[in-house]
Structures are given as structure tokens and as C-alpha cells.
Chains A and B, each alone.
Chain A
Amino acid sequence: MILKLEGISKSYQDKKALIDFTATLKEGVYGLLGQNGAGKTTLINIIAGILNANEGRILYNGINVKKMGVDFISAIGYLPQFPQFYKNFKALEFLRYICAIKGVPEKVGAERIAKLLEMVNLSDVANKKIGTFSGGMRQRLGIAQAMVNDPGILILDEPTAGLDPKERIRFRNLISKFSKDRIVLLATHIVSDIEYISNEVILLREGILIKQNKPTVLMEEIRHKIWEVQVDAENSQMYLDKYSIGNIVFNEGHYVLRIISAEKPCAAAVPIAPNLEDVFLYHCEAGASR
């Protein structure tokens, strides 16, 4: 299973939302990382056919998706950013409806729905109205609807936005479960969502693909660029103004700053192991200001 994106560009009047985006995706979880407005949703919408690109082409298993038409659509499962679904529908009824519009045969659909409700832990509330669901339950129902046609490509746009930490972890685990034998494209600006589950991270900044690689490789690339500095209150402002700061902890009258910088910020700075958040900040914030 290979999804190839070749030279995808998209402009909205004067604004370039995506510039010559080229990437190859195979089975696994891809974390699409970028600040708000970086072009993540545009890219997702182009893959899903919700938007059309100004330039470029998409190949699925070597075939241009323009020629695949409905076959390509049937291979996609999609969870939008803020889905509310139909509040007057019951969960089970809603999934049956999704099966109907996705053209999933009734018998196959019934089996899949039962299995999915079990997997997302909503079997007990299958006959409850969606309007009574919490945000986390709604998102779990959302991933179930995206999976109902057993898609080869699963696209999730900011799926954990607004969820509490417990639900976020629960949701992350679900994505891992569903990632077997399929391409999962997970757009987010919450780094912890993808830190543990993504096989590769795609970093977007202002519509341009900056990096695509394994999280460990990306972290390795910025080794020796992450520093810990202990400063007093008077000097802290100078560091805040000058550097990209990953974290600030106030500890026994001092501030401990996590600084992202290619150069050692001060003699007392101690190099520390980078995480994916540092990679994000390095490329999207510190990098941008360089």
C-alpha cells in the first residue's frame, strides 16, 4: 500500500497554502505536524478530494487517483476536525447510516459495526443518542465511522482537540490499534499525540514540507541543540526574548529553561536529550526565526 503525493500545490487567491508538497506514505502512522495555518488541513482535504489541488498528482498503489474515482474514495476513512454528527441519531443508527452512504453491504456493515463499537468501547451506549455523548465518546464514535468501510487510508484531522488527558491517551491507543496494514495520517499540533505512535513525522511550515522522517531520526538531528539553563528571575527575560523556549520550570528561586538553540546559549548551559516537541519548536519556531 503506497500513497504518493507529487508536487501538490494549493493557493487561495493570494495566499499559498501548500507549495510543491511531495511525499511517499506506506503502511503506518504518519504524524502531520505544523502550526495552525501551516497547511495540514489543506493537504488532508486535497487527499480526501474535498479540495482540488492547483498542481500535482496523487498516486495510490501506482494508479492516479483521478482515474480511480470512487475506488479511491472507498479506500479512505476520514475524521474531520470538529465533528458533531447528528445529535438525534443513536450511535448504532449513525454507523448504519455511514455504512449506507459508503456503500458497505448491510450484512458486512452489521458485523463491522459490532466489532468497531466493541473496539472503541461504545457497545454499551450503542442505542444512546449522540447528543448525550461526551467529547471523548464522540471522537471514539468518529474513528469508528471512519473505519466502517475498512479503509486503506485513515485520515484524522486534529482528533484529540478538546479531549481531556485520559481520553487523549485512550484515543492514541485506538489509533495504534487501527494502524495495522493501513496508512494513518494524523494531523495535529499537539506533539504528544504522535510522539509515541507515529512511524514517521511530516513537518509542515507555511505550506512547505520541511521534514519527513522517523521521530528518532528527527530527534537525533537536533541532538546538541537542546539546552537546559538555570537562571534567576532577573536574567530569565533576556533568554525568553532571545531564544525559543521549550519549557520553563520555577524551582527553588530559580528558573530552569529548556532552550532550543543551534549554539550553546551560555557557558552554564547543559545539553539534554531532545524530544519531539523540541523538533517541532526547532523547525517551526526557532527555525522560522532563523
Chain B
Amino acid sequence: MKIIGYEIRKNYLKRYLIVIIFAFTLVNVISIYGYYETSHVFSTEKDDSWSKAFWDLYEENYKGEITIEKINRLMEIYSPLYQACVVERTFNTEYDPDTFTGYEFGDYRMLDLGFVRPMEYAYTYREKALEIANNAKQNMIFFSSIDNVYQYRSSLKIASLYEGRQINNFYNTEMYDNLFSYDFSSFLILLTVIVAIVPVFVAEKETEMNLILSISKKGGKKTVRAKIASACFFVTGICIWFTITDFFAFAAFFGLTGLTNNLYALRDFMLTPLDITMWEYIIVSAGVKILGMQAVSAVILFISSLFKKALLPYVISLGALFSMMLADELATTKHFNPFDLIVNRELFRHTNLIRIMDFPVHEYVGVILSVALFFGVFILTTIRVNKNNAWLTGGRR
């Protein structure tokens, strides 16, 4: 533990790295604000009548459990607007003090986008989920009759996953829609990881400390393991830091509401294999991203251990990252690429099953396991590449 502490001090508590992290955090928050500015529907600053009307209605009347009373109340004001704006096509934009937004068409759009459509999705979700479950049950009967064990098991898994799914609460999902599609912070984490991890082994050689380490009792494999462990701590720490920054920045700009709502309350995650809430997904997604980042850092550690000067490892690490990104874009298979875990929403948006020994397993499990294997291979290779002192290995080095 002591050596791990020294490795953290040696490699990560550097002024330039702290400045970089601080600067990247600032850039990230500014970027999230820019994202908010270009993509929000209802401004949390309530600086326009449309947004103010939405948030007032949301807070006072419609937030929380979806009840018949709330739906009736909403339809009472929405139906005449629908009749006027859509059926009669008046598109009235004249100022009217008796409206929420200042004009009739504004009210219609605000209610339609902010309440009617999302509530309709939430209200009808149970039906859709049940339909999927029933279809799966039908498939179970069919596959059972033709003795297709794997397909039977797959259908069973889908049926049990979707049966009983329903969305009972209505919350504004803008924050989550945007948070879960935001990737810029991952890019900043990757840059930070490269800057921080490339020197881990190279710097020892550049300073000739590798020679002193190699004739020290704990300077061989123990130090290598401490370097790997400290890199893991750093990567985990930096991922958590940016996850927290993302969360608070998105919450501050888009408005924090509905943390306990189901993940499938988001249209994008309608078919998600995860039966969890928003806040649970934030943690799961961060955890999965951390594993992906660990795999990338394992590659960088390996590259770092091969070279004596820092320049080439920086270039090669960047090259490796872009290759992985490109492979992620082009390859049809998702396995073994850490980027599938770093940008993981695609993994959790749809229920895909893979076959492992005749058992259906969620695709994300397969990807996680394969990236974990990828991580393990690079870590073990890095340990092997860094040799112990000859006298500790009976004269071999």
C-alpha cells in the first residue's frame, strides 16, 4: 500500500496534471453549457414565457405519479388547443393574456412537447412491454415444440424481462436524454489518461530510476504491480470526477428531476435490458465506463513499458486510441473493444442476447467480460515485460 501511495504521488500529484484536470473540468462545464444552449427545449432559467409556463405547470400540476385526474386535467386544456391548432390549423400567435405562454399556438406546442407526448409514451409503455412479453411467450411455445432449447431460453428471458414493466411516474427527461448522449467528457478523460499514464514506466527510464528500482527489494514486480494499481486508482478517480462534474453540470443547466424514474421512461431506452432507475443507470454507466477506461490505460501502460523515451509512446498511444475508436465505428462485433464500454449507451439501449454454451446472455455481459479479458491480457503482458532483478530470478533476467 505504501508503494502504491508513492506511485500515486510520483505519477499523478504533479502540478501540470492538476492544472490539466482543472482546465479540462472547466472546458467540460463550458461544453455542457453550450450543449444545453443548443439542445434544451424548456429553459430552466425561465427567461421566456414558454419555459416559465412549462416549469410552472410541471411543478404545480403534473410532476410525479401519473393519475387519471392529472390526465383529464391535461386533456381538458389540451383538446381545445389541438382542435384549434391542428384540426382547424389556426396557428394563432396573437398575444392573448389568458394563455400560459402568451399565445394559443405556443400553449399547444408547450403542452404537446412537454406533457402530452411524454405522458402518452409513459402511459402506453405498459401495453407495449406486455405485447413484447406475450410475443416472447408465444415464441416459447413454438420453440419448445421444435426442441430449440436456446431460442426457448431466449424467449423466456425476454418474457420475464418485459412482463410487468410500466412507467407510473411522469418526469421531465431532458436532463437524462442529453446526459446519456454526452461523450465529450469521455474524450477529455482519455486525453488526461494519456498525459498521466504514458510517463509511468518511461519516466523511470528517462531518469535512470529504473536502474535503482531494479536493485531494490521491492523495486521489481512489486513496484510494477503498484504502478498498475495506482494507474487503476487514478483512472477510477478521474472517471468519477468527470461523472460527478457531468451530473451536476447537467442537473444545474437542464434541471434535476425524476432521479428515481425508470430508465425505460426515456424513449431512447425503451428496449433497454436494464430494469433500473435513472440514478442507478448513472452509476452503472459510470462503472462500465471505468472498466473501459481501465482497459485503455492497460494498453497505454503496456506501450509505456516498451520505450525509453516519452515521445514515441505518446504518439503510439494516441494512434492506438484512434484505432480503437475507428474499429468501434467500423466493426460489426462489439467485443474486445474498450470503446464500447466507454461510450456505452448503445450497449444498454436495446435488448440483444448472445449465445454462450446454449445459454442466452445479455450482449453487454459478453462485452464487459471480453473487455475485462482484454484488460487482463495487457496487464499480465506489462508485468512480464518488466523484468525482475537477475539475482531474484536465479541469474536470469
Chain A bound to chain B = yes
Question: A69–B395 Cα gap in the complex (Å)?
Answer: 9
Decide yes or no whether A115 CB sits under 8 A from chain B.
no
Chain B, 361-397, CB within 8 A of any chain A CB: 389-392, 394-397
A49-B208 contact given A70-B392, A72-B391, A88-B13, CB 8 Å threshold: no
Partner of B216, one of A82, A85, A98: A98
Stretch at the interface among B52-60, B121-129, B146-154, B217-225: B217-225
| B246 CB to nearest chain A CB (Å) | 29
* Distance between Cα atoms of A93 and B394 in the complex (Å): 32
Q: Tally of A-B residue pairs with Cβ under 8 A?
A: 98
Flag whether A80 is at the interface (Cβ < 8 A): yes
| A162 sits at the interface (CB 8 A) | no
The residues of A that contact B216 with a CB separation of less than 8 Å are 73, 98, 101-103
Shortest CB distance A238–B (Å): 45
CA distance A49 to B212 in the complex (A): 11
Closest residue of chain B to A96 (Cβ to Cβ) is B6
Within 8 A of B (CB), among A77-93: 78, 80-86, 88-89, 93
Complex Cα–Cα for A127 and B237 (A):
28
Q: Is B89 an interface residue (CB 8 A)?
A: no
Interface footprint category on B = 20 to 34
Known: A50-B389, A52-B396, A80-B212. A102 touches B217 (CB 8 A): yes
A210 at the interface (CB under 8 A from B): no
Report whether A50 and B10 are in contact in the complex, using a CB–CB cutoff of 8 Å: no
Inter-subunit contact A101/B213 (CB<8 Å): yes
Select which of B6, B10, B207, B397 is within 8 A of A49 by beta carbon. B397
Determine whether A97 belongs to the interface, using a CB cutoff of 8 Å to chain B.
Answer: yes
Q: Which of B6, B215, B390 contacts A52 (CB 8 A)?
A: B390
CA distance A65 to B393 in the complex (A): 11
Contacts of A145 in B (CB 8 A): 212
Select the residue from B213, B217, B218 with max chain A CB neighbours within 10 A: B217
Q: Are A101 and B217 in contact (CB under 8 A)?
A: yes
Closest A-chain residue to B222, C-beta based? A101
> Is B206 an interface residue, CB under 8 A from the partner?
yes
Chain A residues with CB under 8 Å of chain B are 45, 48-53, 65-66, 68-70, 72-74, 76, 78, 80-86, 88-89, 93, 97-98, 100-103, 145
State the B residues within 8 Å of A (CB). 2-3, 6, 9-10, 13-15, 206-209, 211-219, 222-223, 389-392, 394-397
- Top 8 A-B residue pairs of the complex, sorted by shortest distance between their CB atoms: A84-B207, A49-B391, A49-B390, A49-B389, A103-B217, A101-B216, A80-B208, A52-B390
Given contacts A48-B211, A73-B217, A84-B207, 12 further A-B contacts (CB under 8 A): A49-B214, A49-B390, A49-B392, A50-B397, A51-B390, A69-B394, A73-B215, A78-B211, A78-B212, A83-B208, A88-B14, A98-B216
